[in-house]
Amino acid sequence: MKKILAIMVLVAAFATGLTAQVLKPVKWQITHKKVSEGVYDIVCKATVDGGWHLYDTKLPEGGPLPTTFNVDEDESTGIELVGEFKATTKSLTEHSEAFDMDLKYFENTATFVQRVKLTGAKAKLVGYVEYMSCSGGQCTPPAEAEFDFELTK
């Protein structure tokens, strides 16, 4: 009897764990590449699960959350952003029935770049990429991929 009860408890715990899983259809690899003295590109590469869309950096008002590059001002020092956060991968466009608008998005992989300039000999860059992804009528809540870099001239 004790064995049956223990097995039932394990099965219930396992079933509860399955229903509590969070969808994470986008995986990020965020790196930095030195371009010249005191100038770096922050390269944000996303791998998107099949059937899912990752949205571009510029979207119409009232739609899904665009992909954005965010610097934690309290923890970052000696950094100045140069230009805009932009995709180096060509986006696709389709009309979304869910949002009733044309949206730019990426499938499979996407790479975004933000150039930064050091204002001193050393810098600390802490921040995150905020993004949203959808598949058909199902969307994930806004999510973040964090980064933390020590950079030198």
Instruction: Give pLDDT, residue 115.
Output: 98
Q: What pTM, to 2 d.p., does this model score?
A: 0.84
Domains of the chain by range and CATH? 25-152 (2.60.40.1250)
- For 5, phi then psi, to 5°, come to -65, -40
Per residue of the chain (153 residues), what is the pLDDT tens digit?
444 333 333 334 343 344 456 689 999 999 999 999 999 999 999 999 999 999 999 999 999 999 999 999 999 999 999 999 999 999 999 998 888 999 999 999 999 999 999 999 999 999 999 999 999 879 999 999 999 999 999
**Cβ-contact 44, 68 below 8 angstroms:** no
